[in-house]
Structure 1
Amino acid sequence: MKNTPTDSVPILQDLIRCRSVTPAEGGALTYLENLLSTRGFICHRLIFRQEGTPDVENLFARFGSSAPHLCFAGHTDVVPEGIVDSWTHPPFAADIAEGFIFGRGACDMKGSVAAFAGAAIDFVKSSGKFKGSISFLITGDEEGPAINGTVKVLQWMEENGHIPDHCIVGEPSCLDTLGDTIKIGRRGSMSFTVTVEGRQGHAAYPHKADNPIPKLARFIDRIAAAQLDDGNEHFDPSTLAVTTFDVGNPAGNVIPSRAMAKFNIRFSPEHSFASLRSWVEAQIASVRGQMGGTWSLSVTEGADAFITEPGSFVGLVQDAVERETGVFPKLSTSGGTSDARFVKDYCPVLEFGPTNATIHQTNERIAVDELRATQAVYGRIIADYFSAEV
């Protein structure tokens, strides 16, 4: 008798009904553990702690023990629901209306988790023993500090012999229609705070003061006008955005003693944390040489830039997406950061998931047809992966 396909719709509804607002587990990992363990997956609940950060529960589940090993990485934590009265359907009810499943996390990213779970369960059920293994790396810390989640699960996986050969992160990658975008990398992120110290004084006697504002303004104008690079085949030109310029001075007749500005750089692999810091320091030195002043610089290294070069794995996923959706996906490195930035240190990784039009919004939702189509794409990827050399 033919096996009945697994429907990802009720899986997603059950996951949405778990109030897993980061860092709360909310029952979502328990649900997944029960779902996967009863289908033959060996599950490990991993709780990580660090002083000053919330404890985080994570789940690693694997079927099989041999290579090739394909891992699906995702998260069940969600952002807060916001003003509940603004929702047309309760954010944790998982109501179906007008062909959509409504709820916080429907797209980001419980929908992808449900779709891949359904696809993996069906593959295991229909294939019996196959050469290779499928795993899930599910964290409860993606929307939070990202300290006690994926990065530490990966360390545990390495220590216990579970590093995959390839990984798909289920972030909602598509823009307008399912299948239009696969993300093969992400820009890096680096934040800077520049402070110039001066000497306070009366605005009527500027020669008796040391005004830090013109110095910092010259610097900001200089860096804001700079072109860091021209971009390349896979990355748009790197960007620099000034986010604050503050002097903390409410008086119109007082020259302040300090001026501070913050800015953020999003960059391609053509740059590094070290090279960008050196560039900023050189701009400070140039302006200081012209105008003087006492300068200080504080740097926060966010996510490093990375790319998974197109090859057999990327091509396999592109072909699978096109076969199921009729759309050949473009390769993108746009957007902010994701947990793929941690996975890339261990194996080739890409991101594919449903459309992202309503992520983090009131009335977040995913079309029932799109969810099932996403499951079909994941099913095709899994089947092709274990029948091909990648």
Structure 2
Amino acid sequence: MPLDPADLTARLVRCPSVTPEDGGALPLLQEALDQAGFACTRVDRNGIANLFARWGEKGAARSFGFNGHTDVVPVGRREDWTHDPFGAEIVDGMLYGRGATDMKSGVAAFVAAAVDFVTETPPEGAVILAITGDEEGESTDGTLALLDWMAAEGERMTDCLVGEPTSPDFMGQMIKIGRRGSLNAWLTVRGTQGHSAYPHRALNPIPAMARLVDRLSAHELDRGTAHFDPSTLAVVTMDTGNAATNVIPAETRACLNIRFNDSHSGASLTDWLRSEAAANDAAFGTTTEVTVKISGESFLTPPGPLSDLVTQAVAAETGVTPELSTTGGTSDARFVKDHCPVVEFGLVGKTMHAVDERVEVAQIHQLKAIYGRILRDYFA
């Protein structure tokens, strides 16, 4: 009997798998995959649950992989939800719950498609599923742990699809063939504390910070590239924490986020930030500390056989020819791209991370059909 992806989605949503908790999600998937003849291995690291599953021979010349996550973000205030966030209630054709869109439906769809495919038409090659519980968190012990284990064990995907929600408005709208990089920077500008009545005896760091963040946010990083929109810089917080009106503070802090295209690297942007801070310090006499965390570099899987395969499957099942895009935030594709060619395709993402997150049940079945067609065409 074919595996019902909507039922599997509902069972996954009922698992309270808020990062880093698994909530029973991966054992549920492993049971279904074990029964279908997949060789399953738990690749847990530092308390994070991960699952590797392979049907077919290790080291096969052709091995198509799916990547996804079962962890979810917190629900926020439960009283704001119309339906139990872990109840998986179906109302008017919509399945409600945290993770319904991002991305338990995607995982259920590719698990169901893979199980049915290897059962009905066993391929010459391997089908690999790499499922993590650490995408919504720090992402250091999830897909990275799976890829590290695969490298050590000689396991390899020749191509991979990440099942994240990719379409902004309607099913089949968009395939991701790359992602912008993401960089967070924390700025601490230090001066000299003093009495506000005697500003000449102090060195106020606040005007220096104001000038610095203005310079940074006004700077045009680029005008976009062939496959990427222009890079963006957003100042997300400024904080001094000074409750006294008669004290000039000794330091002030700010944080900014840069989403960057392939005109830049994390290292080049870090150098630019530190150069701007040094120039600002020279003008004001302050000292600025710049701390940077790079969440991921920009990457692109150039349009070609993999994106063509997914495009044709989406068009065949939806009647929509999807746009090839690099928009949006980061995903675990930023790690998979170092292992093999990777694209992303999944459901409409309008309600992900929102109160009353929900997915249209019919679209879960449609997504399974798309993934099944991708597998059949890949191994044809």
Instruction: Tell me whether the two structures share a fold, i.e. TM-score over 0.5.
Output: yes
Poorly superposed stretches of 4+, deviation over 3 Å: none
- Is 1:102 aligned to residue 96 of structure 2? yes
Which has the higher mean CA deviation after the structures are superposed, 317-326 or 238-247?
238-247
Query: Partner amino acid for 2:65?
Result: C
Task: Determine which of 295, 305, 313 is the counterpart of 2:306.
Answer: 313
**Is contact 2:225-2:262 (8 Å) kept?**
no
- Aligned counterpart, 1:294: 287
Q: Counterpart in 2 of 1:59?
A: 51
* Letter of the structure 1 residue corresponding to residue 335 of structure 2: F
Pick aligned residue for 1:281 from 258, 274, 278: 274
Secondary structure, counterpart of 2:296 in structure 1: coil
Match of 2:329 among 336, 341, 346: 336
| Distance in 2 (alpha carbons) for counterparts of 1:91 and 1:262 | 32
Aligned with 2:253: secondary structure? strand
Question: Structure 1 residues 280 and 47 mapped into 2: Cα distance closer, same or farther (>3 Å)?
Answer: same
Q: Report the alpha carbon displacement of residue 32 of structure 1 after superposing the two structures with TM.
A: 0.8
2 CA distance for matches of 1:81 and 1:274? 35
Task: Select between 297-306 and 243-252 the one with higher mean Cα deviation.
Answer: 243-252
CA shift for structure 1 position 378: 0.6
1:8 aligns with 2:2: no
Q: Does 1:186 align with 2:183?
A: no
CA distance in 1, matches of 2:270, 2:187: 12
Residue 256 (1) aligns with residue 276 (2): no
How is 1:79-98 mapped onto 2 (pairs within 5 angstroms)?
Answer: 79-98=73-92
The corresponding residue for 2:117 is 123
Secondary structure at 1:56's aligned position in 2?
Answer: coil
User: Hey, what's the Cα distance between the residues in 2 that align with 1:283 and 1:56?
Assistant: 39
Deviations 1:262-298 (A, max 9, x none): 2111111211121111111221222223332222222
Q: CA deviation at 1:205?
A: 2.1
TM-score (norm: length of structure 2) = 0.96
Distance in 2 (alpha carbons) for counterparts of 1:154 and 1:336: 21
The one-letter amino acid of 1:234's match is H
**Residue-pair matches, total:** 378
**Corresponding position: 1:26 with 2:18:** no
Aligned to 1:243: 236
Amino acid at match of 1:309: P
Does 2:224 align with 1:231?
Answer: yes
> What displacement does 1:362 show?
1.8
Question: Which amino acid is the alignment partner of residue 64 of structure 1?
Answer: G
Correspondence for 2:340 among 341, 347, 353: 347
Moved more, 184-193 or 197-206: 197-206
Query: What is aligned with 1:52?
Result: none
Deviation at 1:344, TM superposition (A): 0.9
- Cα RMSD between the aligned structures? 1.4
Relative to the length of structure 1, the TM-score reads 0.93
Q: Secondary structure of the equivalent of 1:67?
A: coil
Partner of 2:67: 73
Query: Which blocks of at least 5 consecutive residues in structure 2 are unaligned?
Result: none
- In the aligned structure 1, how far is the partner of 2:187 from the partner of 2:78? 39
Displacement of 1:208 after TM fit?
1.8
Q: 1:218 to 1:137 in 2, by over 3 A?
A: same
SS in 2 for 1:302: strand
Secondary structure in 2 matching 1:92: coil
**In structure 2, do the counterparts of structure 1 residues 80 and 244 end up closer, same or farther at CA, with 3 Å as the change threshold?**
closer
Quick one: distance in 1 between partners of 2:76 and 2:192?
A: 44
| Alignment correspondent of 2:107 | 113
Q: Helix, strand or coil: the match of 1:356?
A: coil
Q: 2:167 aligns with which of 164, 174, 178?
A: 174
Q: Which amino acid aligns with 1:386?
A: F
Query: Please, which runs of 5 or more residues in structure 1 have no aligned partner?
Result: 50-54
Deviation at 1:257, TM superposition (A): 1.8
> What is the Cα deviation at residue 196 of structure 1?
2.1
* Deviation, structure 1 residue 135: 1.0
Separation of aligned partners in 2, 1:88 and 1:260: 39
Shift of 1:349: 0.8
Indicate the residue corresponding to 2:34 in structure 1: 37
**What residue in structure 1 maps to residue 352 of structure 2?**
359
| Conservation of the 8 A alpha-carbon contact between 2:191 and 2:250 | yes
- Residue pair 2:178, 2:300 contacting (<8 A) in 1 also: yes
Q: Distance in 2 between matches of 1:222 and 1:92?
A: 46
Q: Which moved more, 1:290-299 or 1:107-116?
A: 290-299
C-alpha contact (below 8 Å) 2:278/2:288 kept by paired residues: no
- Does the residue aligned with 1:190 lie in a helix, a strand or coil? strand
CA distance in 2, matches of 1:167, 1:262: 35
Kindly provide the amino acid, as one letter, of the partner of residue 67 in structure 1: A
- The percent identity for this pair of structures is 50
Helix, strand or coil at the partner of 1:297: strand
CA distance in 2, matches of 1:38, 1:299: 46
